[in-house]
Structure 1
């Protein structure tokens, strides 16, 4: 399986646990980010 990370990917990203959204600050990126943040608050997740 190919890695999603390259040699320039920061360690904070490659060592992170859980679900992480990597997107641009565009309307489409925010469309996904906002509901995920609300679910995080509802379920008390990091």
Structure 2
């Protein structure tokens, strides 16, 4: 994540008054990807 200004970084930080939480969004995306990959590589049930 790259921010152009400190104000932009604070707005994306997920703190009180910010409009977004890019860290939480990235975390959920990573966990969803991990779950999908595990499901693809899981042994088939009989």
* TM-score of the pair, normalised by structure 1: 0.37
* Larger-gyration structure (1/2): 2
Bigger helix share? 2
